[in-house]
Structures are given as C-alpha cells and as structure tokens.
Amino acid sequence: MEASWRQVAGGRGRARGRATAAPSGNGIHLRGAGGGREKGSVGAVPFGASPGGVATSAASGSRHSPAGSQALQTPAASELMSQKKFEEIKKANQAAARKLVEEHFSSSSEEEGDEDFEGKQGKIVANTFITYTTQTDGDTRELERTKQYVNEAFQAGAMTCLICIASVKRNQAVWSCSGCFCIFHMPCIQKWAKDSEFLVSSVTDDDFGKRDYPWPCPKCRFEYKRSETPSRYYCYCGKVEDPPLDPWLVPHSCGQVCEREFKPSCGHKCLLLCHPGPCPPCPKMVTTTCYCKKAKPIPRRCSAKEWSCQLPCGRKLLCGQHKCENPCHAGSCQPCPRVSRQKCVCGKKVAERSCASPLWHCDQVCGKTLPCGNHTCEQVCHVGACGECPRSGRRFCPCQKSRFSLPCTEDVPTCGDSCDKVLECGIHRCSQRCHRGPCETCRQEVEKHCRCGKHTKRMPCHKPYLCETKCVKMRDCQKHQCRRKCCPGNCPPCDQNCGRTLGCRNHKCPSVCHRGSCYPCPETVDVKCNCGNTKVTVPCGRERTTRPPKCREQCSRPPTCHHTSQEKHRCHFGSCPPCHQPCQKVLEKCGHLCPAPCHDQALIKQTGRHQPTGPWEQPSEPAFIQTALPCPPCQVPIPMECLGKHEVSPLPCHAVGPYSCKRVCGRILDCQNHTCMKECHKVTKIDGCTGKNKAGPECLRCEEGCSKSRPLGCLHPCILPCHPGECPPCVQMLRIKCHCKITSLYVECRKITTADVNEKNLLSCCKNQCPKEVLLEPLVLLDRLGLS
C-alpha cells in the first residue's frame, strides 16, 4: 500500500516515473521509484521530485532556474509538509498492519464466503446433472469422471492451459481436445497448430506448404487435420458460438442439453447440460439378452446392456470334439483346454498334447525313399508326398554355362570355362575356371571415391574407402552438426537429448533434440492442504501460483500454549489462530483459576521501536509481536465488610482488604449528642466489646460547645463543652432591681429560672423598708401578707 503523496496521476507500468537528478552542487542524487510496484499502481515521485518524473533538488533549482527563488518554501512550511507526509505514511503502515493481523488471525469471513461459493457451485453442478439423474433415479456413480472435469472448471488454478502454463479464466476463448478433453486458450492452440504444421512441412522442401500435414494435441498427441484447426470459440457441445458469460452456468458452457453421441455409439445422445470432459455412460433402459442367448431378455442400462447369465457356454470348440465349459462370455471361445494323445504330421511319434493344437511336427528327418530309389527324403517331418529326387533331370555345372543329363548317382563335373560370376563388389567378374563353392574376394586395384565424394584413393576393390572428413551439415533439429565421418549427405536424425527447460520450470524436455517448441510437461502435481488430506491436481508448474484447496478436516497441530488441546478449527497454513479457551492457571496469591482467555501468545504492539527519520525509511522491525502476558488480577468476588462495618460488598479477589465505603462514620461520640463525621474508618474495640454505634478512639473528638436548650428564661450558654446528660445549673449572677426600684440585687440565674411567682417576688425583695407610701386596697394587702 502506497501513501497518497507517493501517487502521481499519469505514468503506469514499470518504466514510467523513473528519473535521476543531475548531480547538483550539494552532491544530492534523487531517483524515482518506478519499478517493482503492484499492477495498476501509479508512478511514485520521490520526496523533492517533480511530478513529471524528473527529480530535482531545491539547491539546483535555485541555482540554475530564474524562478528558483520563488519556488523555495519557508522552513516552517517545509517542515509542516514533511510532518504531514510522515503522518500519512504512518497511517498507511498502521492500516497495512491491521489488515495483516485480520487476515492472519481471522478466517471467519473467508470461510463464510467459501461456504457461499460452495453452495452456489453445488447448485450449478446439480442443475447440470439433473436430466441424467432423473433417468438413473439419483444414482451418480457413473458421473464421477465427468463431475471431476466440472469441479475443475470451478477450482481456481485447476483449469490450466498447458501451452502457456496460465490459468484459464471464465471470460477467455478456449478450445477443448476431443481426445483428452484438455482445455487450451484459443490463441495458444492456434499458434501451436500453425507452428506444428510449419515444422513438419519444412522438413521436406519439395512440397513445402502444399501437403495437408496434421498437427497433434499438446497433451495426448491426437492428430488433427489442417482443416480442423480451431478458428472460432464454441461451447463444449459445439452448438453456440461465443457463449455468453453466465455466473450460474459451468464456465464456457451454453446451458443447453449436450446431445453429443455416446462413445461407443449406441443410438442415444448425452442428456447432461453442456459440460466439459467426456460424456457419462448412456443411462437409457433397453431390453437385451445375454452373450450366449440362452437367458430371457431383461431391461438393463444401455451402457451395460451386454451381460452374462453365468451358465455354461456350450458352444462346440474348434477341436470338434468338446464343448466350451466357461460361463457365458463375450467373443469367441477360448482354445480347448483338454489334453489328448496325438500323432505328429509324419506319424512317427505320439505325444500328450493340447486338444486345441492337433497338428504338430517332430524333429526327425522324413527318410522315405524317393522315386529314384537311390536317395531318401531329407526334409524334417512334413505333410504330403516327398516329391522328385533333387538330383534327377538335366543339371547345370557350377558356373551355370553347361548343362548335363546324368544319373542322380553321379555328380555334375566342371566345364573348364571361366567362371565369370559377378563378384561381391558388383563391378568385376570372377576370373577363375568353373569351380564349386563361393568365388574369391575381388583383388583388383581401382581408384575409389569416398562415401561423401570429397576424396579419391587407389586401393583394392573389396575394401571400402571412408575419409576422415566430418560432416558439417546441420541435422533436422537445426541446432547440432552431423559430425559423422565421410557422411554421404543423408544425415541421420539428431540423437541428442533436447534438455531444454519446459514451461513448468521444473523439468527438462526428455525428447530427442527437435525443432520448434517442446511439448508441455506431462507431469502433474498435487497441491495439498497443510495436513495433506485434501488435494487438487494441477499441471506441473502451476503449483507455485495455485492456492491450496480449502480443507474440511480439523487442524491436528499440537497446541502452542499450555492447554492440552486446541480449539477446534479447520486445517490451515501459517500459525494457528490465538487460543480463546479460559486460561485456568492457578493464581499464586489466591489459588483461584484464571478465567481470562488464554494469553500465552498475545499480540501486542511493540514499543520502543526506532522512530524513522522520514517517510522514505522503511521499518526494520515488525509492528506487532507475540508474547506471553501474565495472568490478569483475580476478579473472583469475595464478600468483604467495610472498615466502619456499614456494609458487606463483593470485592475482586486481588483487591480484598480493609476498605472504606466512603460513607460518614455515623458513630455516636462520647458527648452522646453528635456523630463522627469522618469518612468510613477503622474503629478499635475498647474493653473487649463495643457496639456498632459506639465511637472508638479513632473517631473525631467533639469540640463543639453545648448546644442543649437552656431553661426558660436563662440566656446564658452552658459553660461546659458538648457533654452527655443534663447541663449543670446556671450560676451566672443576674442583676435585678428590687420592687422599690431603688436597690440592685444579684441573684443566681438558676434561682430565677427555677423559682415560681412567690419565690420570684421574694428574690426581688431587698428586705428594706419601702420608702413609698401607697394606699393599698384591702385585698391586695391581704395577698401580700399571705392571708387571703
């Protein structure tokens, strides 16, 4: 993934965007980053380069360009731009890291997509075979071979053109061989046919381009005529030209009923929808009898209409004496297996021989007397008459010039003439007189030409003359010289191995040296899943680009964490996904089991890494590492009472201990009037037991004054601090006037407040004589005197 600042509109491909700055005064060389990018990426402009693909430096621009000073940016703006670019690169790297983690440790979405694709593929295959399975009542055993071709049409990388070793895609024109049903790209097979015809016809220059030479299939070597060279793209059944791409059909299929003739021909046609590969056996029902025609006709599948009733055949064998005892079978009966005593052809010997071969020859000479009466037959055991004596009649001398009539008991004499038979050299004749036996070797000296015709030499006629000159003509492979001594010009085919690396890049051509392209590699490779139970067979060379098949088996790798078994997941490549089982380790401090998910291989971001100096510097260390983390604190709830014994709350095991509930203490202080206002705290017991509401030594000391209500009429505060019980009597002295308002009296406050009316009158009396003369009514007087 490239950041936006590295992308420049215009300039696609490998050669675009490359540039090298001319050396400037400061010695800086800047290069473009045009090569090695992904397909479809745009040209990259290095830091400081111009979008046109020419890298320049600020120093050189300012030095050589008139507008260089205007192009310069302030240091603050340049630093801001660099920081912005750096942040973009950082975000891009983080996004790439997150994508890598998601792809590496999560496969649920892929599996769901695979399941959807497999369901869709299953529907397409079922629709393709439905017309066949309705005839066979759902039996698909005969469809396995055809089903394999159909499944390969969906399997990524399984359909491969053996000529170019590339995948065959849905939207590409293809051609299928009628012999091996292998699929090739249309341009590839057309070029193959053209090259094959050219190579074969160019061997014979006389009829170059005139004869109709065949061309072979690259895989099975099935030969096609020149007129059968494919020029148009048809579906598998050949009905539709340029079949449209339909995602709900088998790739390159027209979707119609195949209707190709079955092989071997039975008069019926294929019932499947247009499909790759061979047609399955005919599913039609026919009524037929067995091989020996003894059983009653029964209905059977047309593809298996020939059957045996397993009764003895009973047909008479070729020996004419016995009958075939084998079970009902197809074709001719086997030779008679019995043994009998039979005479040889001449009748001299009798031997135990197979009844199937009554005629045989012994190894004795016939020995019968010939009609001449002088000689016996020298033929080995034979049929018929021995014939006339070979020495009877007119016979020639050894040189075949003279003829004599002699009895068969006399030998023919030599005639005395010269032999004149042509010698083995084929040029000269024998100069000896008529003789018996072979003629001698020709000994005449002649001037002979060597086999290649380049040299002459005088030598005996019977000796062959081969020069030492090596032929420099090219053999039919057009790569190697003949190098045969004294070659007459008919150079033999090249006998060296081709040895060229095939398109698969794994093997070399095993054929003898040849012209043109080598045949595709015939080997196949099994691309297996990680456990090896699921595989897909692809042509050799495609194993490097073919994705391994999805395996339905469970991963059998041992766990990498402390658990005895892994979580169930499917077979895969790479590291297993993180374990999500409960840790269940015994915690050291409390003895509880750790309930957190397994954290033996936690993926954490690496800290303390080297900070890049700029966006051009690539990170040298991975952003995430796997490491074992310690167990988290124990979270098991433990009931715990707070310090002030206000409540019992469940606390995490790791945090168990004295705690404050944050409430006000609320215990009654010693003053019995106020409560402790401190936050919940520890209270020490006194004298062995203390109530929950009794304040302890840790509680606050009441420092307030007495706030109890005073007696009615007392306006003085309590002289004691806040205290339990009743306040002490007020002993404050009050200054009051006596009744006569002349004298001031001092009386304690408690006396005034606790006195009734009479006592108050007495307390207000100064005991002195009243100086006022007042006429009192009799009742008032009596009242004062207490006599009323």
Domain ranges of the chain: 133-280, 497-547
Spatial separation of the C-alpha atoms in residues 45 and 55, rounded to whole Å? 8
Average pLDDT, the chain: 77
CB atoms within 10 A of CB 542: 23
Tell me the per-residue pLDDT of 46-66, one tens digit each, with 9 for 90 and over.
333 333 333 333 333 333 333
- CB contact set of 430 (below 8 Å; sequence gap of 6+): 418, 419, 420, 421, 422, 423, 439, 440
Alpha-carbon distance values, 203 to 152, 225, 263, 475, 618 (Å): 39, 18, 37, 11, 59
Q: Give the bridge partners for 745, in sequence order.
A: 736
Q: What is the mean pLDDT of residues 631-636?
A: 90
Minimum mean pLDDT range among 21-35, 144-158, 420-434, 447-461: 21-35
Residue 69 pLDDT more than 80? no
Q: Give the closest residue to 184 by CA, choosing from 471, 613, 539.
A: 539
pLDDT at position 496: 86
Confidence band of 234 (pLDDT split at 50, 70, 90): very high
Q: What is the mean pLDDT of residues 304-308?
A: 85
**477 vs 241, more confident:** 241
Spatial separation of the C-alpha atoms in residues 588 and 634, rounded to whole Å? 10
Question: Cα dihedral angle (83, 87, 90, 92), rounded to 10 degrees?
Answer: -130
Q: What is the mean pLDDT of residues 139-165?
A: 70
SS3 132: helix
Place of tokens 């320049």: 56
Percentage above 90 pLDDT, the chain:
3
Q: Give the closest residue to 388 by CA, choosing from 404, 372, 403.
A: 372
Cβ atoms of 414 and 397 within 8 Å: the answer is yes
pLDDT at position 153: 67
Residue 137 pLDDT more than 70? no
Spatial separation of the C-alpha atoms in residues 218 and 739, rounded to whole Å? 149
Minimum mean pLDDT range among 605-619, 702-716, 768-782: 768-782
Q: At what angle do helices 144-154 and 108-133 cross, to 10 degrees?
A: 140
Residue 68 pLDDT more than 70? no
Tell me the per-residue pLDDT of 357-379, one tens digit each, with 9 for 90 and over.
778 888 888 888 888 888 888 88
Confidence band of 688 (pLDDT split at 50, 70, 90): low
Place of tokens 């012209």: 515
Spatial separation of the C-alpha atoms in residues 698 and 124, rounded to whole Å? 84
**72 vs 550, more confident:** 550
- Phi, psi (deg, nearest 5) at residue 686: -125, 135
Alpha-carbon distance values, 662 to 417, 485, 659, 665, 676 (Å): 153, 114, 9, 9, 13
Minimum mean pLDDT range among 13-17, 246-250, 294-298, 358-362: 13-17
Residue 559 pLDDT more than 50? yes
246-250, 720-724, 738-742: which is most confident: 720-724
Whether the model clears a pTM of 0.95, i.e. scores above it, the answer is: no
Residue 702 pLDDT more than 60? yes
Tell me the per-residue pLDDT of 569-579, one tens digit each, with 9 for 90 and over.
889 888 888 88
pLDDT at position 401: 83
CB atoms within 10 A of CB 332: 10
Spatial separation of the C-alpha atoms in residues 699 and 634, rounded to whole Å? 34
E strand map for 712-782: 733-737, 744-748
Tell me the per-residue pLDDT of 583-611, one tens digit each, with 9 for 90 and over.
999 988 888 999 899 988 888 877 666 66
Residue 619 pLDDT more than 70? no
Confidence band of 156 (pLDDT split at 50, 70, 90): low
Tell me the per-residue pLDDT of 506-529, one tens digit each, with 9 for 90 and over.
888 888 888 778 888 888 888 888
Tell me the per-residue pLDDT of 163-181, one tens digit each, with 9 for 90 and over.
888 888 888 899 999 888 8
Question: Quick one: 428 exposed, middle or buried, by C-beta within 10 A (0-12, 13-18, 19+)?
Answer: middle
Confidence band of 703 (pLDDT split at 50, 70, 90): confident
E strand map for 134-259: 160-161, 166-167, 174-176, 183-185, 215-216, 223-224
Alpha-carbon distance values, 119 to 126, 147, 171, 274, 565 (Å): 11, 16, 22, 20, 31
Residue 97 pLDDT more than 80? no
**769 vs 385, more confident:** 385
264: preceding bond cis by omega (within 30 degrees) = yes
Q: Residue 259: CA atoms inside 13 Å, Cβ hemisphere, count?
A: 8
E strand map for 209-280: 215-216, 223-224
Spatial separation of the C-alpha atoms in residues 66 and 47, rounded to whole Å? 22
pLDDT at position 95: 81
pLDDT at position 136: 58
Spatial separation of the C-alpha atoms in residues 302 and 289, rounded to whole Å? 12
Q: What is the 3-state secondary structure (H, E, C) of 274-335?
A: CCCCCCCCCCCEEEECCCCCCCCCEEEEHHHCCCCCCCECCCECCCCCCECCCECCCCCCCC
Cβ atoms of 302 and 282 within 8 Å: the answer is yes
H or E element in which residue 458 lies: strand 456-460
